[in-house]
Structure 1
Amino acid sequence: MENAKTCSQIFTGARVLGYVSTHVPFVARFIKRRGETLLCTSVGKWFHTYGCDKFRLLSVSGEHPSEITCMSGDGYHIYTGCENNIYAWRRGCELKHIYKGHGATIHKILPFGIHIISVDESNVLKVFDIKDETEFLELKFSLETFTITTLCHPPTYLNKILLGSKQGQLQLWNIRTSKLVYTLKGWGSEVLVTEPAPAVDVVAIALENSKIFLHNIKLDQTIMNFIHDWGQVSSLSFRMDGAPIMVTGSSTGNIVMWDLEERTVKSQIQAAHSAAIAGLQCLMSEPLMVTNSQDNSLKMWIFDMPDGGARLLKKREGHALPPKLIRYCEPSGENILAAGSDSSLHIMNTVTETFNKSMGKASFDRKKSKKKNNLTLPPITQLSSCMQRDKQWDSIATLHENKKLALTWSYNRICVGKHKLRCPFEEKKAVATSLTVTHCGNFVIIATSPYHVMRLDESVNKTKCHRESALLALANEDFTITLIDIDTMKVVRKFDGHVGKITDIDFDYQSRWLVSSSMDCTICTWDIPSAQLVDVFMVEAPCTSLKLPTTAPEKPDLEDIGVIDLGEPEYKSPEQISTELITLSGQPTSRWLNLLNLDIVKRRNKPKTPLTVPKSAPFFLPTIPSLELEFDLEKEKGDTNKKLLTPESLSTLTPFAKKLNKCKRVFDYDKCVMKLKEMSPAAIEAEVTSMAPDAGGSIEVMSHFLKLIDSMLKSNRDFELAQSYLSLFLKVHTKVITRSSELLVVLHCVEESSSVAWSRLQNSLLYNICVVKALKDM
């Protein structure tokens, strides 16, 4: 696979699923025009923008050269640090500015009026002009005496910023004059977080030794201090709705609320996140708080608990640890079941993130596991599902690493199910290796170390079965893939090409392609009939699991997630591929199937109460009998003052019958066919009935209608409509036809055309039946 390309010739990237947050703190921006606070989170090379109102994804940014290292924002832009550059984005997806000049990776960004301040890992501070993208100021600091760790702007301090250092000191700088204003000696411990308090001149300073100081930087005096006993402080914020509360997030995932008046702990949330809390911010003038973490989650909390604490209000989350197994849970290809190393199971929607849901972690007891972590089961190794009876009972079953039992899950209730299936294996060391939920959804088949029916030259580490084609794919330890026919128990194909351990294999829905992923960072597509490699491409990190849908999904409704390339326009089938093939009209069955049974339909739909005659209107417009409301304006044409009666005005023929009489060539009947397609079944019956001489029609009109059907049969178009119209015509006018020699001649031609069409159709059907039967007998 040395010549593998980075892009595939078959597959194209669609979207990233299940990625919500990284270790980079989120950015909150209140947009006055929207009246909503927007939250921006880093997801590697991109950042997502969520709305606080519905917590749904609004936009996805463009791709960065590498992973985002820091973020910040103001009322106009979102600023992202990536490698040595800063990128400014508008509306979450439009790149406006790029600021270059740093010689190392940027790790701190602070918007500062018309400027933006940034600090890189070489301890260089730069100030850029936002509009001109020019460098305004550069300050170099010594790594030995003052390594910058924090950056903030105290309110009311004009042109001044406060820097915290690894050595414990803090410095107040004037950016406009590029002078050091004051140095705070600190407390001999590294400064982790600095956050301005609502009170003037007061800044909260969190240190590495787990102490928090509220310090007046103008007087250089400590107002109060706290000891944080839940690990180091990773983030800090103050409530902005009038309550004297300081909130801290820890490196262990806990959240603590401090009462600044009583100088005590007000409340706490244990295990709010499963990793360090990267970002924490209380929203302006609202009892709300938002947090994000490296555990791939973004959460909103509301302060409405009796003890002054907060409860979880909304959340967006994915797997806290890398996903290891994905499977489609339904044939439409819209929903995916994803299992991760964190023992959790998630539902991911391929169309919109709004429908993404977490089913929780696998545990022996769902209620007790919320308090005790040791009840959580090991990661999921196998899963199978069947949604046939999902409303009645659990529909998903999973196996877990080195465990005998299988756990069930409820897709309907989005949680761990009620059953734990323990297999009575005789051997103590035996573990469950594979399972399958039957198509009916009633049974789960669990297998353990099975006896070998076939002897292979190499050991197998992964299998994949395609039920419909009875093919079994084996991923071998020597990096090859063996394909076996289960019915004959013979090796039919062998694929060789990977240079690393094969992590997953899967068939496409037609069992024509086999797709495999490997630790060599390649994705290969093998053509089974020709036994050839048809496509290979490389990914940045090894793929651990892959799955193909069984059917193609319908065209999704687009969300507001930036500019989306829909590719080529949707293919439209022509009206007729070939004149030799019989083509149906595509009309709904209700438009032609019940033409012979309209009398039964009318009796069934007859109202129980008598109809009331509406009052006559002062005027009326004549309408045309069709499925859509159309006015008959033909009567309004011509000389309205003409009072003499003409033979044409004395005719009792309907407008449709008059059009039939005007047809002289074969293609003239096409307009009449189009007119019939627009009529309702009741209107078609009325038109056919009125063609009889005793009903106001004529033999000529009836002859033209038979010629219309003959033209439809000879063109091989609208085959089912022609048969339906002919049946209705024969049912209504049998007596009239037997008495007219002219109609019998035309009807004989129609019979010949119909016989030719049916004979062609019958021959094609019989041929296909014979081919299928021969293939089954092979």
Structure 2
Amino acid sequence: MQRESNMVAVSCGDRVVRIVDIETRRVVRELDCRARIRDITWSADGRWIIVACYDRAIRTFDVPSGRLVDVFRTPDVATSISMSPTGDFLATTHVNRLGIYLWANRAQYTEVPLRTVDEEEVVDVLVPSVQGQAEEDALEALANLALNDSNQTVFDSPDQLSGELVTLTLLPRAKWQTLLNLDVISQRNKPKEPPKAPEQAPFFLPTLPGVEHRFAVDSATTEVPPTKQLRAGAVAEAESEFVRRLAEEDLEGDHEDFFQYARELSPAALDLELRGLTRLPVLERFIRALAARLASRRDFEAVQAMVGVLLRLHGDVLVENAGEMEVCLTALREAQSKETGRVLEMTAQALGTLAFVRAAP
């Protein structure tokens, strides 16, 4: 069926393909295939009909003129054929062969004179090679090539292309959004009612003396000894991996190893580590690390998320100890103002350039 032209191609027992006009119900073309017909397909524009026959030949007919314009013979009978919607390729399947074979349409790439082809001009061709078989030797030769030239170097992309650019962490945005809104998410996922302990009762209940049958249920609850609470000064404060890595970094460096470890933590684990920064020396060192990372122009959005969570969790502590934390807070504010201004300026330039390109005719 060719819906655009309302034509139907019918394979008949006399080895002829007849094209019927649906509207007039008349046979408009008869195409002699000289062999039993296996499958038929139309081209996208309805101009060609490709026929696969049992004599292993694939014939192409020009419908307006009714002429045979191309014929070739494959090693095995084609069981099914189909033309691509754009007319670039012909797909075929064959007896005793696995897979779908693609044939390029030369008329899409070069000028091909559509002359009448004689059946005696049929050409025997091989099916297209399966990837990895015909080219196996060439691929193995390429794989065995070694870089013997010592002067030849392989390009390795640096962590930061230029010091004038701002590099992000390349992690999903949802991770830092989750870190900023972890309290809201936890409150939303909090169960409505606390879990209730099942009522415990002995298997055999004693009965009370008397006429009526009553159980002696002791309403008094069993006293549970209070949980032993550890005094804060009794146990030394355990140092976490987060704090240990922070202490190992150089104050004048870019804290690459520390922020690499922080990026690998989940939002909940990172929030827990930030809540554990209760000592002023650790807080001061962490704030200096944030300022140094901003100055290095890396992990910009990660630093912004950590600054927001830090101020929300320990803002009151920083205010109460403003005298001791003044130097590190000032450095963080200066680095924050400088880098935020640069990012906003670069973003405005990029948006302006994009608007100019879109408006260009």
TM bin (shorter chain): 0.5 to 0.7
Say whether the 8 Å CA contact 1:252–1:271 is kept in structure 2: no
- CA 1:518–1:662: 2 relative to 1, 3 Å: closer
Matched, 1:742 2:324: yes
Matched, 1:593 2:177: yes
- Note the 1:437-586 alignment, pairs <5 A: 519=111, 561-562=132-133, 563=135, 573-586=157-170
Which residue number corresponds to residue 687 of structure 1? Answer: 273
After TM superposition, give the deviation of residue 582 of structure 1 in Å: 0.4
Q: Give the counterpart of 2:87 among 309, 329, 339.
A: 339
Gaps of 5+ in 2: 1-12, 16-31, 42-49, 61-71, 93-98, 114-129, 144-153, 198-232
Matched, 1:730 2:316: no
What TM-score, normalized by structure 1, do the two folds share?
A: 0.26
Which residue number corresponds to residue 338 of structure 2? Answer: 756
- CA 1:355–1:744: 2 relative to 1, 3 Å: farther
DSSP-derived class of the 1:652 partner: coil
Q: Give the counterpart of 2:34 among 235, 248, 252.
A: 252
Matched, 1:765 2:351: no
After TM superposition, give the deviation of residue 748 of structure 1 in Å: 1.1
CA-based RMSD of the aligned residues comes to 4.6
Which residue number corresponds to residue 284 of structure 2? Answer: 703
Write the deviation string for residues 679-725 of structure 1: whole angstroms up to 9, x where unpaired: 00000100001112xxxxx1111111111111211111111111111
Give me the whole-angstrom Cα distance separating, in 2, the residues matched to 1:318 and 1:658. Answer: 66
- CA 1:588–1:561: 2 relative to 1, 3 Å: same
Give me the whole-angstrom Cα distance separating, in 2, the residues matched to 1:579 and 1:270. Answer: 64
Which residue number corresponds to residue 244 of structure 2? Answer: 658
DSSP-derived class of the 1:339 partner: coil
After TM superposition, give the deviation of residue 316 of structure 1 in Å: 4.3
Matched, 1:603 2:187: yes
Give me the whole-angstrom Cα distance separating, in 2, the residues matched to 1:754 and 1:678. Answer: 24
- CA 1:270–1:748: 2 relative to 1, 3 Å: closer
- Note the 1:178-257 alignment, pairs <5 A: 230=14, 252-254=34-36
Say whether the 8 Å CA contact 1:669–1:711 is kept in structure 2: yes
Gaps of 5+ in 1: 1-228, 232-249, 256-268, 280-291, 302-313, 320-335, 357-502, 505-516, 520-540, 543-558, 614-646, 693-697
Write the deviation string for residues 741-772 of structure 1: whole angstroms up to 9, x where unpaired: 23232011011111111222222233334445
Give me the whole-angstrom Cα distance separating, in 2, the residues matched to 1:271 and 1:658. Answer: 74
Say whether the 8 Å CA contact 2:252–2:292 is kept in structure 1: yes
Equivalent AA in structure 2 for residue 339 of structure 1: G
Q: Which has the higher strand share?
A: 1
After TM superposition, give the deviation of residue 674 of structure 1 in Å: 1.1
Give me the whole-angstrom Cα distance separating, in 2, the residues matched to 1:355 and 1:729. Answer: 62
Equivalent AA in structure 2 for residue 583 of structure 1: T
- Note the 1:39-78 alignment, pairs <5 A: none
Give me the whole-angstrom Cα distance separating, in 2, the residues matched to 1:572 and 1:611. Answer: 55
- CA 1:611–1:668: 2 relative to 1, 3 Å: farther
Percent of pairs with identical residues = 22
DSSP-derived class of the 1:317 partner: strand
Which residue number corresponds to residue 210 of structure 1? Answer: none
Say whether the 8 Å CA contact 1:277–1:293 is kept in structure 2: no
Give me the whole-angstrom Cα distance separating, in 2, the residues matched to 1:297 and 1:737. Answer: 85
After TM superposition, give the deviation of residue 660 of structure 1 in Å: 1.8
Question: Which structure has more RCO (C-alpha within 8 Å, separation ≥ 6)?
Answer: 2
Write the deviation string for residues 486-518 of structure 1: whole angstroms up to 9, x where unpaired: xxxxxxxxxxxxxxxxx98xxxxxxxxxxxx66
CA radius of gyration, larger in: 2
DSSP-derived class of the 1:337 partner: coil
Give me the whole-angstrom Cα distance separating, in 2, the residues matched to 1:746 and 1:725. Answer: 15
Equivalent AA in structure 2 for residue 602 of structure 1: S
Q: Which has the higher helix share?
A: 2
Say whether the 8 Å CA contact 1:656–1:687 is kept in structure 2: yes
Say whether the 8 Å CA contact 1:253–1:275 is kept in structure 2: no
Which residue number corresponds to residue 274 of structure 1? Answer: 51
Give me the whole-angstrom Cα distance separating, in 2, the residues matched to 1:297 and 1:703. Answer: 82
Give me the whole-angstrom Cα distance separating, in 2, the residues matched to 1:276 and 1:673. Answer: 68
Equivalent AA in structure 2 for residue 746 of structure 1: C
DSSP-derived class of the 1:274 partner: strand
What TM-score, normalized by structure 2, do the two folds share?
A: 0.52
After TM superposition, give the deviation of residue 591 of structure 1 in Å: 1.8
Say whether the 8 Å CA contact 1:592–1:721 is kept in structure 2: yes
Q: Give the counterpart of 2:81 among 306, 310, 317.
A: 317
Say whether the 8 Å CA contact 2:262–2:270 is kept in structure 1: yes
Give me the whole-angstrom Cα distance separating, in 1, the residues matched to 2:319 and 2:101. Answer: 65
Which residue number corresponds to residue 175 of structure 1? Answer: none
After TM superposition, give the deviation of residue 339 of structure 1 in Å: 3.0
Give me the whole-angstrom Cα distance separating, in 2, the residues matched to 1:725 and 1:337. Answer: 53
